[in-house]
Amino acid sequence: MLIMKGVSKIFRTDLVETHALRNVDLHIKAGEFVSITGPSGSGKTTFLNLAGLLESFEEGDYFLDGENVRGLSDNALSDLRNQKIGFIFQSFNLLPDLPLFDNVDVPLRYRGLSAKDRKQRIEEALELVGLGSRMKHLPTQLSGGQQQRVAIARAIAGKPRFLLADEPTGNLDSQMARQVMELLEQINQQGTTIVMVTHDDELARRAGRNIQIFDGQVSDVDQNPSDALVKRA
Ligand SMILES: Nc1ncnc2c1ncn2[C@@H]1O[C@H](COP(=O)(O)OP(=O)(O)OP(=O)(O)O)[C@@H](O)[C@H]1O
Ligand SMILES: [Mg+2]
């Protein structure tokens, strides 16, 4: 699970301080599918980057699967990230000169798996997103939706406990967006906790729980009534 207590993030430049996250308290349980919505510039990507250990924070505590990540060294943080977290970036972040197979292999290379295990995981992940027959293609030979699916394959090939997705359907038409959502739901049903930033209200509602961020502040709208009762009890 993922627990934040009083977490704040301030970006400082010579001229301005931006309070990107203010005093965030949050508890995301294992197996949840959480959507995050909020206006542009409200702190959604900052939250995901922080949750995914890509960004530091100055105040508060963050427990990932029970471990307080505050004060861990950069090496310890990247180990933890590699073991537990898969990322889907809004801009895909695929390497244009590498075939799909090798793109999906990138995060696996840091995980000490044998070449045989890696090959199996890569093939499984690309099959799951419907691109099993295109492993030797380059990203530039694919449509936007197909590239998005490669990014998903890359994020799930490591079988992460947490999948953090920044507008995974932002560049897709509504039919393709629904297909990607179905894929994420399938991955969630297999036990991966998912946190997804989206501007799409319909997709946000489909997730089990919606968290809204306004001006760096989180407000939690729990859509599961039985869960809310447990919380109040
Ligand atoms: N590296 C940075 N340096 C300085 N300020 C930053 C940096 N990254 C983000 N910010 C600021 O922090 C605030 C939150 O940005 P963030 O990218 O988290 O917004 P967002 O909710 O993801 O927006 P969008 O929906 O447009 O993607 C913004 O005011 C932004 O300008
Ligand atoms: Mg963003």
What domains lie within the chain, and their CATH numbers? 30-53+72-232 (3.40.50.300)
What residue ranges line ligand 1, CB within 6 angstroms? 11, 18, 20, 38, 40-46
- Which residue's C-alpha comes closest to atom 18 of ligand 1? 43
Per-residue model confidence (pLDDT) at position 119: 97
Question: What is the CA(115)–ligand 1 centre distance, in A?
Answer: 38
Per-residue model confidence (pLDDT) at position 180: 85
Residue 95 scores a pLDDT above 50:
yes
pLDDT digits (tens, 9 = 90+) for 7-55: 999 999 999 999 999 999 999 999 999 999 999 999 999 999 999 999 9
* Share of residues in the chain with pLDDT > 70 (%): 94
Mean pLDDT (the chain, rounded): 90
Hey, how many other C-beta atoms are within 10 angstroms of the C-beta on 113? 16
Q: Which two tokens stand for residue 180?
A: 């990607």
CB 26 within 8 A of CB 193: no
For ligand 2, a single-atom ion, which residues have Cβ within 5 Å? 45
Atom of ligand 1 nearest to the CA of 12: 4
Residue 124 scores a pLDDT above 80:
yes
pLDDT digits (tens, 9 = 90+) for 164-179: 999 998 878 888 888 8
Residue 198 scores a pLDDT above 60:
yes
- Which residue's C-alpha comes closest to atom 30 of ligand 1? 41
β-strand pairing of 209-214 with 59-64: unpaired
